[in-house]
């Protein structure tokens, strides 16, 4: 089994983010809603690093390309769509996780 590790990066530190990304094969973004727009910085750093085999952007939930939403969610969904398009445009291998909504299980 391959060695496992967790390496953290800061979206506000491009050089540090590139350095962290160069140490891994897979990048899993778990930024919350308040930093969703900052994922373009992760995409840029992945492209610069040039070694990532898979990127999973933080967009867990409904399929934003199929969603038909109304305000106040339209801006947020459009932001997630823009991140998808940026990942695709850069040619980065990716996986979009579409878990749809779910509630508490009892």
Active site residue 80: yes
Which residues does 61 contact at the CB level (< 8 Å), separation at least 6?
Answer: 98, 99, 100, 101
Could you count the other beta carbons within 10 Å of the beta carbon of residue 36? 18
Give me the half-sphere count of Cα atoms (radius 13 Å) on the Cβ side of residue 68. Answer: 0
- Dihedral pair phi/psi, residue 86, rounded to 5°: -65, -45
Give the angle subtended at the CA of 84 by the CAs of 82 and 90, to the nearest 5°. Answer: 100
| Active site (catalytic) residues | 80
């Amino acid at each position: 089994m391959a060695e496992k590790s967790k390496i953290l990066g800061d979206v506000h530190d491009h050089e540090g983010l590139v350095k962290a990304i160069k140490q891994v094969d897979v990048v899993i973004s778990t930024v919350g809603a308040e930093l969703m727009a900052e994922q373009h910085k992760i995409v840029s750093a992945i492209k610069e690093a040039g070694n990532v085999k898979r990127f999973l952007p933080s967009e867990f939930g409904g399929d934003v390309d199929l969603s038909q939403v109304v305000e106040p969610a339209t801006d947020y969904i459009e932001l997630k769509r823009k991140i998808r398009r940026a990942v695709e445009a850069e040619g980065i291998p990716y996986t979009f996780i579409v878990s749809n909504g779910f509630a508490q299980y009892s």
